[in-house]
Structures are given as C-alpha cells and as structure tokens.
Chain A
Amino acid sequence: MLRIRNIESGYGSIKVLRKVSLHVSPGEIVAIIGANGAGKTTLLRSISGLLKPWSGQIWFRGQDITRTPAERIVKLGCVLVPEGRQVFSTMTVRENLLLGATVRLKRGDHGEIERDMNWIYSLFPQLADRQNQIAGTLSGGEQQMLAIGRALMARPELLLLDEPSMGLAPNIVREIFNYIVRLRKELGLTVLLVEQNARSALRISDRAYVLETGRIILEGPSEDLLQDREVQRAYLGRDLDRELE
C-alpha cells in the first residue's frame, strides 16, 4: 500500500528525518511511536505532500508520490488527519464534512456524498446531533471524530492519523482508538498511526516502528514491542530491570 525508502526531510536547514524507510501493507494498522520531536509529524507531512522531502522516495499503491501535490495525494486515496485535529473552527460540522469531499465534489456525485455523510453520522452519532453546530465549539473528542469523519469523506484507502489522542481524556482516547479498529474491520481501511501514547497505539496496531531523533531504531510486531525491555523503559514508563532488582 505504502512504501517509503530513505526519506530525508526537514525545515529550513534543520534535518528532521534521516533516511527513514518503512512499509504498510493493505489492511494493516501500523503504528509509529516516538518521543516529542522524533520526527513523527514531519514523516506524515512528507507522506501527505505538505512537505517536500529532500531525498528518498515514497510510493503509494505502486505510484511514486514523492513530489506529488497534497491534493493529488488525497485524490489517490491517502488522507491525513492532521495533528491537533485542525477542524475548520468557524464552519459547521456539515461544512467540515463537505470540505473533506472536495476532491469528489468536482466530479459531481452529490447523492453519493450525501449517503457517505449519513454513514458518518451513523458511525459518530454525536456528530449527527450537531450537524449545524460550529466546529470550534465541539469538545476535543468530538473534534477528533469530525477530523476523522472529514478524512473519510474523501473515501481513503490509507488513513494517516497524527496523534489522535492529543489532549483527550483517557476514556475518550479509548473510544477514538476503538473507532480506528472498527474502521479497519468495516471498511478494510489501512491505517498508519503516529502516537506518543505508545501503549494504546501498540495495543491496536499489528506492527510498529520506533522513531528516535529522525531514525527508525526498532521495528516489529506490536505484541513483541510491548514486551521489549527497551520500549517498555523508554515509552511505556516501566523499568523491568529495576523491578527485578
């Protein structure tokens, strides 16, 4: 589905990503965990075309998208749910969802778009009750649902999720993560998930990569990483060595 080889990227003269390579197979949920400033967001921005990589290559469904503009990548079926949700706060819930369908509206399948919107309302009943509410007045969890719903309106095959747990209460985080699992089950959606909340991310994902200062330092099935001593110490807040003493 997605293959990245030796990507290097950054801002101005500051290099953030150093030869990052990874792949995501169809139907997988893959997590990228890492601390603040490790380059997780930069990686997703590079994939989705918001940031032009300095070098390396990115393929999506066999097509080279390294230099493809962001809106074309959306059209191809790779859609980002940005960090901090970034809903269009002065617009209504409905308008936000319609914006997600921008790449489809041009082709004019309006009936289908209405149907998708109703499907999203049935998936997130909280949004259905607030169709005409201004998005900026939603709660954090509702905004995250809206951001995901907006991305789904483009009918993606690969969903890029940037820190969906950010700033949310633990029970809401659980709810959002349940939705991600459900989306894969019901839509066969492939998900690349970037998270600081390593434990939750490892629990719902099939495989994971550990990103540290712009490099992938570890890769493997999520179950194994959950048991990995180094990962436990650095990202799960559990020091086995000390516990065994």
Chain B
Amino acid sequence: MKGERIKIGLLCLLLVLIDLITTSVARTYYLTQLTMSLYYTLVVLGLVLLMGYAGQISLGHAGFFAIGGYTTAVLSTYNLLKYKDSAVVKVSSELGLLTLRENLYGEQILSFHPWIGVLLSLVIAATVAYLIGIPVLKLKGHYLAMATLGFGIIVYRIVLGTPIFGEADGVSDVPPFVILPGLSISGQMDERRANYYIASLLVVVVVYLMTNLINSRVGRALRAIHGAEDAAESAGVDTAEYKLKVFVMSAVIAALAGAFLTHFNGGIGPSEASVMKSVRYVAIVAAGGMASIWGGLTMAMLLNFLSLRGYFGQYDDAVFGAVLILIMLFAPEGLLRVNPAGLLKNIFKRS
C-alpha cells in the first residue's frame, strides 16, 4: 500500500513534468492530445477493474463512453426556445437548470446547463449498465464477450441512425462545461493547461480509488471471482452482486470520460461508439497486462497519444487489432512483463 502511494506521487510528478517540459519548449499543443489520452485512459482503467481484476470481459465499453458523451452533448445543445412556454421548460428555468447562449451563427440557444448534462449522463450510464448487467453477467467467457459486443453495436446503430444524435455527423457545437466560474472543460487554447490538469486530476483520483479498492475486502472478492467463481461463491462471496457493481462502476467511469471529453472536444461523433473503439480499449488493457493498473495506465497514455498524433495513419484500427493478436500470442502477461529472452525462445519454437 505504501508502495502504491509512492507510485501515485511519482505519477503526479510525471504529469506536472510533462506539462512543464512541453510548455517550456513551446509545444503546448501536445497537451491537447495528452488531455484526450488521459480521458481515454480513464475508460481503460475502468476496464482494468472489470476485466483484469473481476475477470469479466466487455466488448461494449465504447457504448458507455458514447452514452456519456451523447447525453451531455444533446442536453447542452438541444434548443428549448421553441418550447419555452411548456411547463417542463419553465420549471427547469426556474430551478436554474438552463442556460441561454449564442451559438456560432448568432442564434439564441436555450439548453440545459452542462452540469445537468454530465450528471445525467452518469445516471443514465449507470442505469443502462445495471439493467443489461443483470442478465448479461450471468454469461461467461465467449458468451459474455458476444453479449457485450451486441450491446456496443446497438448503441452504435442507435446514434448512427437517430436524428437527435446527429446521425453520421454526430453532435457539434457543444458548449464548454463551466465547472466553476473561471474553470471550464473546453478546447479553448488559453485553457489548455488547465484542462490538462483537470484530466490528470481525474486519472490520479481514479487510480487512487482503484488501488484502495483492490487491496480491500471488495478487491479480494473480485480477484476471487476471477480465480474460481464457484469457490468464491462457496466462500460466501455474492458473485452476482460484485460483478454487477464493478460492471456499473466501470461503465460510469467510461461515461464520465465520454462526457468530459465531449465538452473538451466541443462535440462527439458516432465513431466514438464504434466496435473498433471497444476493441481498442480491450487491446490496451491486454497490452498493459490485464490485472495491472499501472500497465493499463502506461499503455493507454502511450498508445492513445501515438494514435491521436497520427503516427498510425490510416492503419490506426489495424494497429490496435494487431496489438491485441500479438499480445495474446507472445505476451499474454502484458508488454511491461515481457522477458525478452523468453519471448525470442517462444517465437523461435513456434516457427
């Protein structure tokens, strides 16, 4: 536990150092992709908890990310002016839940405050995860993978085919999320560093909570479920309850990342909900060594940053697919635990 505290301290230090270095060499634009990577890292961390520790695969986590992003995107952009005489809008307005602003084209827009959007996105993601989790988590292995994949596809087709979600265009012109006066989630240049630190803080907090959780009674129960579900049950662990809780928790983390990143980017498109995104998250968790917070964190930052900087070019999705295959074949323990001599021997033996 003490070792974990030191690691978290080092992580904070590293995050600050990255900012100082990029700023001092006038490369602050790197911070934009780093911030985005940090949000994707949140999704991966939630998935590490679900897959690595509890042993339950999800090929639908992009769906939860999209639920978070689209909920706040729609709520904070949908113009309620034409309904301003309806009771619901009036009450919401009285309660101070609405904001009036002007969009890019000088049009007046009355919509929900992003606070409402973000909070509701978490509530909706939790509810959806809970409702589909109850039947789906009874499945194991390939069947669970197929069911979560199905869920991901459903979310993707819904956002792609529904006018309110902007169909193939997605939702754009999403306003900044003003957390406090003077502090907002947005892609504005002058708020770049502040946003980098907000995202960093979220990641550090999630890492801290996760390390605590894993070393607690709950964490032991999760690892027990992973190891031997029957034995866990006969030891008195309510496996169904724990699996459901961790599934909901990781879905909420994904939705949180989706909601924040949507305000940061000023919009969201259907590709965020695509199956390839889900595969990408799973590939990163595997590359990080499954049950490893630090491995997952490192791989998520590295691979997402490279991808967002365009290093993989048109082969972006192919790279993540290849990563998944190669990891499974040659480094099932994750990239950080590879023993080079053993790996060479392994490849040699295969050929």
Contacts and interface: CB of A to CB of B under 8 A. Distances in A.
A71 B225 CA distance: 13
Interface in B217-265: 217, 220-221, 223-224, 227-228, 230-240
Nearest to B291: A90
A71 B227 contact: no
A102 B227 contact: no
A71 B236 contact: yes
A70 B228 contact: no
Contact of A80 (B221, B234, B239): B234
A90 B219 CA distance: 13
- Report whether over half of chain B's contact residues are helix, strand or loop; otherwise say mixed: helix
Interface stretch (A91-99, A121-129, A165-173, A211-219): A91-99
Nearest to B231: A86
Given A98-B217, A102-B217, A91 B224 contact: yes
B220 A70 contact: no
A71 B237 CA distance: 6
B223 A82 contact: no
B228 A88 contact: yes
Nearest to B223: A91
A105 interface: yes
B235 A150 contact: yes
A234 interface: no
Top 5 A-B residue pairs of the complex, sorted by shortest distance between their CB atoms: A74-B236, A86-B231, A103-B236, A80-B234, A70-B233
Interface residues of B, number: 18
Given A70-B234, A71-B236, A99-B232, 16 more contacts: A50-B233, A50-B234, A69-B240, A70-B236, A74-B235, A75-B236, A79-B234, A79-B236, A86-B228, A87-B228, A88-B223, A99-B235, A100-B235, A100-B236, A102-B221, A102-B237
A23 B257 CA distance: 56
Most chain A CB within 10 A, of B223, B227, B233, B236, is at B236
Contact of B231 (A69, A88, A98): A88
A191 to B, nearest CB: 15
A48 B234 CA distance: 7
Contacts of B230: 45, 50, 82, 86
A157 to B, nearest CB: 14
A154 interface: yes
A55 interface: no
Interface in A58-112: 69-71, 74-75, 79-82, 86-91, 95, 98-100, 102-103, 105
Nearest to A147: B231
Contacts of B224: 88, 91, 99
28 contacts: A45-B230, A50-B234, A70-B233, A71-B233, A71-B236, A71-B237, A71-B239, A74-B234, A74-B235, A80-B234, A81-B234, A86-B228, A86-B231, A88-B224, A88-B231, A88-B232, A89-B227, A91-B220, A95-B220, A95-B223, A98-B217, A98-B220, A100-B235, A102-B237, A103-B236, A105-B217, A151-B235, A154-B235
A69 B242 CA distance: 14
Contacts of A87: 228, 231
A102 B234 contact: no
Contacts of A49: 233
Contact of B220 (A50, A99, A103): A99
A50 B223 CA distance: 19
Contacts of B217: 98, 102, 105
Contacts of A71: 233, 236-239
Contacts of A75: 236
A90 B220 contact: no
Most chain A CB within 10 A, of B232, B238, B240, is at B238
Contacts of A82: 228, 230-231, 234
A99 B228 CA distance: 12
